[in-house]
Amino acid sequence: MRNEKRAHVLRFLEKGLRFDGRKLHELREIKVDYGISKNAEGSVRVCFGNTEILAGVKMSVEKPYPDTPDDGNLIVGAELSPLSSPEFESGPPKSEAIELARVVDRGIRETKAIDTKKLCIDKGEKVWTSTIDLVTINADGNLIDSGALAAIAALRNTTLPHYDGQKVDYKKRTDTPLPIKKIPIAVTIYKIGPYFLVDPTNEEEDLVDARLTVTSSSGRISALQKGGDHPLTIEDVDRMVSLALEKAEELIKYL
Amino acid sequence: MIKMELRKDGRRFDEMRTIEARAGVVKNADGSALFRIGDTVAYAAVYGPRELYPKFLQDPTKGILRCRYNMMPFSGAGDRVKPGPSRRSTEISLVIEKALLPVLSLEEFPNAVVDVFIDLPQTDAGTRCAGICAASIALADAGIAMKDLVSAVSTGHVNGQVVVDLTYDEESAEGEVADIPVAFMPRTGKLTLLQMDGEIGKEQLMHSLELVRKACRQIYEIQKAALKEKYTFNGESDEE
Amino acid sequence: MGLSVKDKEIVVPGEELAQGMDYLPSYGTFRDGETIVAGRLGMVSAESRIIKLIPLAGKYLPKTNDTIIGRVFDVTMSGWMIDINSAYSAMLGVKDAVPEFVARGTDLTKYFSFGDYLVTRIINVTSKNFVDLTLKGPGLKKLGEGRIIHVSPHKVPRIIGKQGSMISMIKDSTNCRIVIGQNGIGWVQGEPEDELVAIQAIRKVEDESHTSGLTERIKEFLDRNKRQ
């Protein structure tokens, strides 16, 4: 049946149409709401059509890694909550959730989005750790792009809690924002047959041959992730990267 | 003795925080709801009844209910909540399950399972009660046969003053405090959840329960309104 | 004494529907002493002394002779296991599916395989909720290329309309082939532009199913979106 569904979606794509009436390179309606969790130091709800994902940032003071003694730490977690889809189960994170967290993490880290030196409190002893957690509320495709947008939006929404040199007082929030230098935007281009499209729904995602996530900031590429079962040609990559950079400019406007 | 003083946040002793309830907030689910009481927010989604695997978990006489209570990692006051089940979340999942079971009629669905997932993005005490309120709306929204809804909120006392719907500040106040999460089946007035932390005399306990029962009636009206709002159609009735 | 709610009112579980012994509880309701109580979410139907609820939500409940669409999710020695959008899966036996003789041990995926969608009819629902299906009958078949859609099983009668009037109108206007199973799974096939209009029309019926003047509004919608 997958073949029949695929043949059907190809007839749509040939006419430049999607199953929900969109054009191939058209995003769904995007919404970004800030401050949805007051106990988080930064939080956001991001919707891409029917996909809804929350991101929250908790700040803590930890020991730095020995190889980066004066850099703040970054941790990204992602939960594909069983609340958000009949296909997700309770239990330890599956590879899909881990990939999501790692792709988002890599995008932020490699773009050098956070000025980590500014998060050093006491070299080799104490640095700020930013922990971003993503949780899906309704999963209807394109979790990587929506999750990445939620993560950077939440970081930009973050202010540091008060720290007296001994412990963090979460009740006292300072108005110091995180030192964000750059804004990474992840755009995933999906390939079905000879066609390239963005922001698929769940129904379309099941029919995808290959995908390429391009994370960039001001036109410079900082992370890539190829997914899907089929290979890509060099020409495919050329098209996909161009399209991703173009769409990144559109996505950043929602922040 | 009831003093008519206001609480720290300006509420009367028998006054709950602002409540908001909505049905049908998770499109993928068979039933869903959002329930907010003050700064505590709970999402609940219901999947099922659906087939239960592995088979040895099945009950041939009736469907089973499974609940999962989960605080999002960034939802708590203080440190990040480690993702995944903890002893605390496992116990709360269990008591929520027991609080909801008495209203469910799962005999129609032997060997099947109804899954209830509760996720909290923001918390300020009363999370299990908010979870129960959301779950109960979500179960009705999923069209499951039920004898009643379940309405829940906490009661207790703060230094002798009996109150309903304690905040985190009140729960952790200095001195003698009791926090008593309670769930009622509003129609029959029977309890389905009763726990307590702290210290209280019997007379005060019974007084608390009387207060919280009235509060649960108010919650029930809000739950009912959320469901009716989703299903009441804008136009006039059927043309045929 | 008397009715506590109005006919066609939406009620929630536990709500009091009527007082006194003059009324009789029927589907979706139960009696508790003198009171008749709602046993689920639904719309009140109280035309006579009998009070019942018309369910508005919930999984599809299989009924004998219903024509439904299901998805093959397992292939066994003797047939196919079908997901029918209900609490339980259904069984399609080889004898009820294939006209020719099939030797034991034949690989049944050569007929229907994982993920295939079939239009079938329910021939039996046992007390233990085993559902048996058949493919023998007019219109029963494996579905080919097309789009699978999901609608609320409770809205299917409205989408189909009286003697199929609503669905015929949509089919005629959009030149699409459409099958809507009683279980809320549907299949649509046509030219992409037409298919989008057909699906939008079905969604519109689903969303506005209990409003008056619906047939007229759908007709207008279809006329407005008709391709020349």
CATH tag, C2-55: 2.40.50.100
Contact: A1, C192; criterion CB under 8 Å: no
Which one of C5, C11, C12 would you mutate to disrupt binding with B, by most B Cβ within 10 Å of its Cβ? C12
- CB-defined contacts A:C, below 8 A: 29
pLDDT in tens, C79-133: 999 999 999 999 999 999 998 888 888 899 999 999 999 999 999 998 878 899 9
Superfamily name and number for C67-142: Nucleic acid-binding proteins (2.40.50.140)
* Residue A171 three-state SS: strand
Which one of B74, B75, B80 would you mutate to disrupt binding with A, by most A Cβ within 10 Å of its Cβ? B74
Answer with the residue of higher pLDDT: B2 or A219. Answer: A219
Quick one: tokens of B2? 């009831």
How many residues are listed for chain A in this entry? 255
Contact: A12, C192; criterion CB under 8 Å: yes
Q: Least CA distance to C90: which residue of chain B?
A: B51
The stretches of A46-189 forming alpha helices (DSSP H) are 95-111, 143-156
Which one of B22, B25, B27, B28 would you mutate to disrupt binding with A, by most A Cβ within 10 Å of its Cβ? B28
Written out in words, the top-level CATH class of the domain with range A27-254 is: alpha beta
Residues of A with CB under 8 A from a CB of C: 1-2, 4-5, 7-8, 11-12, 15, 17, 19, 21
Provide the chain A residues 160-199 that lie in CB contact (below 8 A) with chain B.
170-171
| Cα radius of gyration (chain C) | 21
Q: Are A24 and A190 in contact (CB under 8 A)?
A: no
Contact: B121, A135; criterion CB under 8 Å: yes
pLDDT given at position B239 = 38
Contact: C57, B110; criterion CB under 8 Å: no
**Which chains reach chain B with 3 or more Cβ–Cβ distances below 8 angstroms?**
A, C
pLDDT given at position C104 = 84
pLDDT given at position B235 = 44
pLDDT given at position A1 = 60
Spans of all domains in chain C: 2-55, 67-142, 147-224
For C163, other C-beta atoms within 10 Å of its C-beta total: 7
Distance CA A36, CA A42 (A): 9
Are both C67-142 and C147-224 of the same fold?
no
Contact: A17, C148; criterion CB under 8 Å: no
pTM of the model: 0.96
Mean pLDDT, chain C, integer: 94
pLDDT given at position B237 = 44
Contact: A131, B121; criterion CB under 8 Å: no
pLDDT given at position A27 = 98
Contact: C89, B238; criterion CB under 8 Å: no
Task: Please give the ipTM for the structure prediction.
Answer: 0.96
Domains present along chain B, CATH in parentheses: 19-229 (3.30.230.70)
Contact: B233, C208; criterion CB under 8 Å: yes
Across the interface, which of B44, B76, B115 has its CB nearest the CB of A39? B76
Residues of B in contact with C87 (CB under 8 A): 48-51, 63, 109, 112
Give, as one character, the DSSP assignment of residue C78.
S
Contact: B145, C88; criterion CB under 8 Å: no
Which residues in chain B come in under a pLDDT of 50? 1, 235-240
Q: Is B197 on the interface with C (CB under 8 A)?
A: no
Burial class (CB in 10 A: 0-12, 13-18, 19+), A213: buried
pLDDT given at position C227 = 77
Cα B206 to chain centroid distance, Å, stands at 21
CA B109 to chain C, closest CA, distance in angstroms equals 8
Q: Are A117 and A70 in contact (CB under 8 A)?
A: yes
pLDDT in tens, A123-177: 999 999 999 999 999 999 999 999 999 999 999 999 999 999 999 999 999 999 9
Q: Is C113 on the interface with A (CB under 8 A)?
A: yes
Residues of A in contact with B77 (CB under 8 A): 39, 170-171
Q: How far is CA C217 from CA A249, B239, C39, C205, in A?
A: 41, 13, 34, 9
Topology, domain C147-224? Ribosomal Protein S8; Chain: A, domain 1 (3.30.1370)
Q: What single string gives the DSSP state of each residue in C36-64?
A: EEE-SSEEEE-SSSEEEEEE-SS-B---T
Q: Is C214 on the interface with B (CB under 8 A)?
A: yes
Tell me, what amino acid is at A161? P
Contact: A8, C114; criterion CB under 8 Å: no
Contact: B239, C214; criterion CB under 8 Å: yes
Say how many CA atoms lie within 13 Å of C89 toward its Cβ. Answer: 15
pLDDT in tens, B151-179: 999 999 999 999 999 999 999 999 999 99
Q: Give C146's pLDDT tier (boundaries 50, 70, 90).
A: very high
For B23, other C-beta atoms within 10 Å of its C-beta total: 25
pLDDT in tens, C23-48: 999 999 999 999 999 999 999 999 88
pLDDT given at position B4 = 60
